[in-house]
Amino acid sequence: MAVVEIRRLTAEDVATAVEISTSAGWNQTAADWSALIALNPETSFGIDCEGRLVSTATLVCYGDRLAWVGMVLTRAEFRRQGFARLLLERVLGEAEARGVRTVKLDATEQGAPLYAALGFIAEQPVERWVMPKWVVPGRDDASPRAASARALAPGARVPDALAVELDTLAFGTDRETVLLRLGQSSQTLTAHDGYAMRRDGQRAAYLGPCVARTPQAAKRLIHAALRHNEGPCVWDLLPENANAVRLARKLGFTPERRLVRMFRGEPLRAKEGWIYALAGFELG
Ligand SMILES: CC(C)(COP(=O)(O)OP(=O)(O)OC[C@H]1O[C@@H](n2cnc3c(N)ncnc32)[C@H](O)[C@@H]1OP(=O)(O)O)[C@@H](O)C(=O)NCCC(=O)NCCS
């Protein structure tokens, strides 16, 4: 039996972690991994086997109200040896030690049986929509309202307090720290009635998060967020938000895969009709 060591991930693991997630076909970049590890150094874990990193899992803590499990990955040749289960047990132990009331995650078909065995319950579906190439928006997108969304340069302190307030109402708990970190590597659009972000991805640009009070606001913000995007784009949404589905379809996105959002502990639902794009499967 090979020696197996669970340990915390550090910035030095980013390149290997990207290699593992990319070989699973995932879209996360070095910036995404760096942000996850920097924000959650105590709760980002990996397993070394035969002298190299073979399995990962992260836990993003939104205070003690909610924590989000992500990046549950095992290299293909090391699967079915209990590595993901070990890491899940570890992150759940960390959540319990912090008094976290709810743990959530977005489960792939491969991950769902493990989570169910650990007490996670299905909450709602989650979908990834894709656009092979963004085409320049049509005439109705040139409306004055479309122009009113403010584009902020990457690096500016974004999103602003109003966006964070809307996000908290929609998501159910404050995730300002994560949004500020995403703001460092995203194009961010803010308005009085919502915000949208777009960042680079490994295989396609990532549209999200986007929270908006109305479908009109979402349309305006998402158009603006996609305006200077040339290549393919992915957009993760909650299909129970029919307005988000309608908008994605209208903009030429098509559904690519379905996951299931699962939770463990107290249920937590909020104004999800305002959520037009997720921040990431690993973030909520
Ligand atoms: C899902 C994944 C992380 C599991 O990693 P792993 O280290 O092989 O998982 P474990 O060995 O700890 O298996 C734990 C349990 O998960 C379930 N499981 C694992 N792989 C499975 C598969 N391919 N099909 C069905 N169930 C599976 C089983 O219940 C398993 O227990 P068992 O083998 O005793 O029946 C791995 O298959 C993977 O990296 N997949 C691609 C990325 C992905 O989808 N990640 C999940 C994101 S939510």
Q: Whose CA is nearest to atom 32 of ligand 1?
A: 80
Segment 198-224 mean pLDDT:
97
- Hey, where are the domains in the chain? 4-122, 128-277
pTM (predicted TM-score): 0.92
Architecture, CATH, for domain 128-277? 3-Layer(aba) Sandwich (3.40)
Query: Is the confidence at residue 154, as pLDDT, over 60?
Result: no
Q: Report whether residue 56 contacts ligand 1, using a CB cutoff of 6 Å.
A: no
pLDDT number for residue 228: 83
How does pLDDT run across 23-40, given as a tens digit for each residue? Answer: 999 999 999 999 999 999
Q: Report whether residue 90 contacts ligand 1, using a CB cutoff of 6 Å.
A: no
pLDDT number for residue 100: 98
| Residue 190 alpha carbon to ligand 1 centre in Å | 39
Mean per-residue pLDDT over the chain, rounded: 92
Q: Report whether residue 107 contacts ligand 1, using a CB cutoff of 6 Å.
A: yes
Q: Quick one: fold of 4-122?
A: Aminopeptidase (3.40.630)
pLDDT-based confidence at 3, cuts 50/70/90?
A: confident
Query: In 3-state terms, what secondary structure has residue 63?
Result: coil
pLDDT-based confidence at 5, cuts 50/70/90?
A: confident
pLDDT number for residue 237: 98
Higher pLDDT, 219 or 141: 219
Handedness of CA 128, 129, 130, 136 (dihedral sign): negative
> Is there a common fold for 4-122 and 128-277?
yes
How does pLDDT run across 223-242, given as a tens digit for each residue? Answer: 999 988 889 999 999 999 99
Residue 47 · residue 2 · CB < 8 Å: no
User: Of 234, 230, 232, 228, nearest to 248 (Cα)?
Assistant: 234
How does pLDDT run across 70-96, given as a tens digit for each residue? Answer: 999 999 999 999 999 999 999 999 999
